[in-house]
Each structure stands twice: as C-alpha cells, then as structure tokens.
Amino acid sequence: MQTASTTQICLRPWFRFGLASSAALVLSSLVFFVVWQGRSSSGRMEPRILEPVEEASDRRLGPEGSDEFLSLGLSTVCRSSLRNITEIVPSQGMVKTNLPRQSCEDLCIKDGRCRGYEYRYGERRCELWHESILAHLNVFHNRTVSGPPDFVCVVRQPTCRELRGHKSLKNEEVNSLSFYLMEFCDTGPTPELYGPCSKRYAEDIIQTSQRLCDAVRHVCGTATC
C-alpha cells in the first residue's frame, strides 16, 4: 500500500505548519494545521486531553533487546497515566542526580526493566521508569513547576498502543499551541528557547508530532496515524 506524508514549515513573516498523512484507497486521513498569521483567533475552543487509546497490538518500536528510544519533545514530563498526573516520580523506578542526559540514557539501556526516562537539564536530574509510560504532559505554557520547563520525556520501545496514546496527546498540544500563537503572539516568533512565543518550541512540537506519526505507522502497520 502506498502512503504519502507531507510536512510544510514556513517561518516568516508568520508560522505556518502543516502536518498531513493520507493513503491511497484508504478513506480515513489525519490533517492538522497550525497557522500563525499575526491575528487573534475567533471562537476559541478549549483543547481536550485524551486518554491513551487501548490497542490489541503489543508490537514495539524495535525488537526486544534493542535500544529504541523516542523523545516526546521539548518540555514534556512522563506520566504513568493521565488519571494519575500528580504522580511526578515513578512508583517503580529510580532517580539519579548530577548526570548528563547521555549518561541517563546509558543507564536506561543497561537496565532491562527501564521503559524510558525523564530528564531535566537545569538540575541534571534523571528519572528511570520501570513501568510503562502511558501518558505525558507538556509543561511549556501550562507550567506546574518553578523555573524553566527544561524537561524531556523519552520512551523506550513503546508499543503500538502506547504510541497511539502519545500521538493523541501530541495532537492536542498542536491544537493548544495554535490557539496560543494566534491569541498572544501577533508580533511573530521570538528566539528565546523558553519564551512563550518561541520559534524553537513551535518547530519542535511539529517535528515531534511527525516522528510519532511515522512511528505509529511503522509499529502498528497502518497507512495513517
């Protein structure tokens, strides 16, 4: 089956992001657009946070024994479930401090129980998760911690079901970002990494969404994501 996927990014004088996925002879398709045109949005709708979708497939991103990692993007924190978002430290796992990110990932590789990790750059803090990371939160605009949102959640060998859950959440982040840009960033993008109208963050969220889409198609064996 042939598939087609396009990603369009234009950064001046506005942001225009297109993320589309379609397949020949398949009726379902997924299209998301975020447009930064220097004007306020009308009829704003509040984005919904979706629970991960239950899937029968237990296939993983990469064969067992390999070290396949997938970052969920800038300013993401790991959660075992959206029903338990207050659990900021894994109930099964360990926390290490004063480590560079690569050392954190190396520890996860050596740990057969590790299902992923959360890393905070400013604190050099590493959380190794020994339970499935079924959800994540984005704390870039909705900050629940003090200081810069310098987190990243990285999953290891996620299943089809887990990937679909994270993709649903990332879709909501794209929608939320589009509302924010049109309402508060009418002067255009800013160069600060953690500024509210950050060009780098907007690019990262779209690129991460595309990576998740590619992973869903690969692991789940579907033409669309």
pLDDT in tens, 132-177: 999 999 999 877 778 899 999 999 999 999 999 999 999 999 999 9
CB 60 within 8 A of CB 40: no
pLDDT of residue 60: 64
**pLDDT, averaged across the chain:** 77
pLDDT of residue 144: 72
Distance separating alpha carbons of residues 113 and 115, to the nearest angstrom? 6
Other beta carbons less than 10 A from residue 65's beta carbon: 7
pLDDT in tens, 48-100: 433 444 344 555 666 554 548 999 999 999 999 877 666 667 778 899 999 99
- The pTM of this model reads 0.74
CB 152 within 8 A of CB 118: yes
CB 201 within 8 A of CB 75: yes
CB 164 within 8 A of CB 53: yes
- Percent of the residues in the chain that have a pLDDT greater than 70, as a whole number: 68
201-209: average pLDDT: 95
pLDDT in tens, 71-80: 999 999 999 9
The domain limits of the chain are: 3-220
